[in-house]
A = this chain, B = another copy of it.
């Protein structure tokens, strides 16, 4: 097999975009920004950046996430490559997209309020420039699959959370309602939750407080190594 590159072959540019999910206790959301230069000036886009020829896309994507959030408490994973020859009008640009999850906090919310990004509900994404709506659609499918098989949801929740919060998150990600008793039974049976003994009032209107749980990461890692699969069909 003869494989040979000519100088003409080295004329492609790389970019990366990230789909960043957050969950505010009510809705699943993701971050979008606005393009400030041509092409597509003024259009909504995913957080994106050029990847220089010597750079590694995952590192660039991580750096982008760090620049958005200001810290490192998140999960990131490769999504896909978007390589349609005409996806970018400025030339041949191959986009290597990632998706990640953020643990929302007041600090982060405030930071973002003064940044160039804003949250939109994951089930009401506005039209985006380039093929970014395709990227978002793809990431939603992936998130759904991940939520079904891995306890990824915990990375979207506060470190301590109520069972109702996590149920709501699962309902958002899976796009359907779940039975409260069955959901709890299943989750508790996995023994991946630690009851902190603490309680919290979920809203001013809620009189009775709910119990707070933590995710047992150490146990999960052990189980993972043994091939454990947390499956929620």
Contacts and interface: CB of A to CB of B under 8 A. Distances in A.
Nearest to A39: B3
Contacts of A223: none
B1 A91 contact: no
A94 B53 CA distance: 10
A37 interface: yes
Contact of A85 (B12, B47, B54): B54
A11 B14 CA distance: 9
A194 interface: no
B2 A53 contact: no
Given A13-B10, A13-B12, A3 B35 contact: yes
Contact of A5 (B5, B8, B57, B90): B90
Contacts of A90: 5
Nearest to A84: B56
Nearest to A90: B5
* Interface residue SS majority, chain A: loop
A-B pairs with lowest CB-CB distance, top 6: A81-B81, A1-B33, A9-B13, A11-B53, A12-B12, A10-B13
Interface of A: 1-5, 8-15, 33-37, 45, 47-50, 52-57, 78, 80-81, 83-85, 90-94, 96, 116, 231, 233
29 contacts: A1-B35, A1-B36, A1-B47, A1-B48, A1-B116, A2-B35, A2-B36, A2-B37, A3-B35, A3-B50, A4-B37, A5-B50, A5-B91, A9-B14, A9-B52, A9-B53, A10-B91, A11-B11, A12-B14, A12-B53, A12-B94, A14-B94, A53-B92, A54-B85, A56-B83, A56-B84, A81-B81, A81-B83, A81-B96
Given A10-B12, A55-B85, A94-B94, 9 more contacts: A5-B13, A9-B52, A9-B53, A11-B12, A53-B92, A56-B85, A81-B81, A81-B83, A83-B96
